[in-house]
Amino acid sequence: MSTNKDFSTLCIRGGQEADPTHGAILPPIYQTTTFRKKVVGKDQTFSYSRVGNPTVAVLESRLGALEDCLPAVSFSSGMSAVTTLFLALLKKGDHVVCSDVVYGGTYRFLTEILAKLGVTCEFVDTSDPGQTKSALIRPTRLLLLESPANPTLKLTDIKANCALATKCGTLAVVDNTFAWRQLQFPSATIRIPHTMAGVACRVVGSGPGFFPS
């Protein structure tokens, strides 16, 4: 959305129109859990705030426009974004290749929760794409990269690793808490689903058809 706009304009206006109710320029804060049903039994854009809320929708559009990665989905914590990603994409019998340095919660979710559900995981030094290439010989559903990694700041060549994943038909996802898109992908040469953890909001951006419907 609006990728032809200047970056500074995107920062203050990206993904946002004036509020449709009264034309407010700044997004109003909708402090409500539920929304009145216009027609009983018919889906509407907003009905329950945990599922969707106009203020959160502005945040997601703004971040999606800045990240050039729509649709963007925000979560209340980094681990809820990571957990949702795993549970949406993985099933029993799937294999994951993961950067060897990852946030502790991600490591524990993979080794303690997903392992019990029949998902296997190999941790490899993705800063060496040769090691990723070797690991991906085994059929792999998901390549999870963390770069810059928490806590060592180890860097992974995201473009090279994603190219390897694409060749194998493996989904690639990048998580990080330190650098958002403008710092990670300054040349905007690649578009991959990614999460930003440890900031005021957490985003999983996805390309069309990324999440199973």
Ligand X SMILES: Cc1ncc(COP(=O)(O)O)c(C=O)c1O
Of 93 and 151, CB closest to ligand X: 151
Neighbouring residues of 210: CB distance < 8 A, sequence distance ≥ 6: 171, 193
Asked whether position 175 contacts ligand X by CB under 6 A, the answer is yes
Asked whether position 32 contacts ligand X by CB under 6 A, the answer is no
d(CA 41, CA 45): 13
CB of 108 to ligand X, least distance (A): 11
Asked whether position 148 contacts ligand X by CB under 6 A, the answer is no
- For ligand X, which residue has the nearest CB? 78
Q: Which of 165, 195, 178 is nearest to 78 (CA)?
A: 195
CA dist list (Å): 147 to 60, 161, 171: 22, 11, 16
Q: How many CB atoms lie within 10 A of CB 137?
A: 8
d(CA 31, CA 101): 39
Count of chain residues binding ligand X (CB under 6 A): 14
Contact string 92-111 vs ligand X (x = CB under 6 A): -----------x-xx-----
CB of 109 to ligand X, least distance (A): 10
Contact string 46-85 vs ligand X (x = CB under 6 A): -------------------------------xxx--x---
Q: And the tokens for 32?
A: 């409500």
Q: What values do phi and psi take at 133, rounded to 5?
A: -60, -45
Binding site for ligand X (CB under 6 A): 77-79, 82, 103, 105-106, 146, 150, 175-177, 197-198
